Chains A and B, each alone.
Chain A
Amino acid sequence: RKEVEQDPGPFNVPEGATVAFNCTYSNSASQSFFWYRQDCRKEPKLLMSVYSSGNEDGRFTAQLNRASQYISLLIRDSKLSDSATYLCVVGYGNKLVFGAGTILRVKS
């Protein structure tokens, strides 16, 4: 079983749609949680950290459920520029473990 699992997609949605990504992790000792965005042939960029209390940044909302070892990302009012691969990332100690990513394609 992979340490971090994501639905690879792709998710093809129209502009303005709301889309949700899910992620599960296997290491209960994980301490930190993130969503990164990776554009084609580019490096990953931090989108947001994820907290148990949930956090929101504009159109993006992230949630963590430690009991279920589950992380989610909700994107509202999708834009064409949101098209990318979204990486679920889990940290413990000084290491980050990456999910394989979920591809999002927003179309006009």
Chain B
Amino acid sequence: GAVVSQHPSWVICKSGTSVKIECRSLDFQATTMFWYRQFPKQSLMLMATSNEGSKATYEQGVEKDKFLINHASLTLSTLTVTSAHPEDSSFYICSASPGQGRSGYGYTFGSGTRLTVV
């Protein structure tokens, strides 16, 4: 149980274009999902908390107009990287918990999306 599916696994896009990444909880409902970014040899950094039916909560330093998050249903959250630039190239990972956002339950991660902006 507790499977999180993320799509696409990798994407290459031109500078200035937008890329949408989907994160789905397959066998549970997730009112809260999380989006992380990981640069090479660095730790996962939380970008934002996605809340079903309401606005996402962004971490300090993350531009909400650049990283658009939509959590329209209990099983789907999307992250859109708008006007992507080479410095946005990174590994983006989503996570969710069957414990409805309480960290003590641990989290399941999607398989990640490797974004390369050229």
A residues contacting B by CB (< 8 A) are: 31-32, 34, 41-46, 49, 87, 91-101
Contact = CB atoms under 8 A, between A and B. Distances in A.
B66 interface: no
Interface stretch (B14-22, B71-79, B80-88, B103-111): B103-111
Contacts of B103: 31-32, 91-96
Interface of B: 6, 32, 34, 36, 42-46, 49, 91, 93, 95, 101-104, 106-112, 114
Contacts of B93: 43-44
B112 A95 contact: no
Contacts, number: 53
6 contacts: A31-B104, A43-B109, A87-B44, A91-B103, A96-B95, A98-B36
Given A31-B104, A46-B106, A94 B112 contact: no
Given A43-B93, A87-B43, 7 more contacts: A42-B112, A43-B111, A44-B44, A46-B107, A91-B104, A94-B49, A98-B44
A46 B108 contact: yes
Among B95, B103, B110, B111, residue most surrounded by chain A Cβ atoms (within 10 Å):
B103
Given A94-B32, A94-B101, A95-B49, A34 B114 contact: no
Contacts of B43: 87, 98-101
B94 to A, nearest CB: 9
Nearest to B97: A94
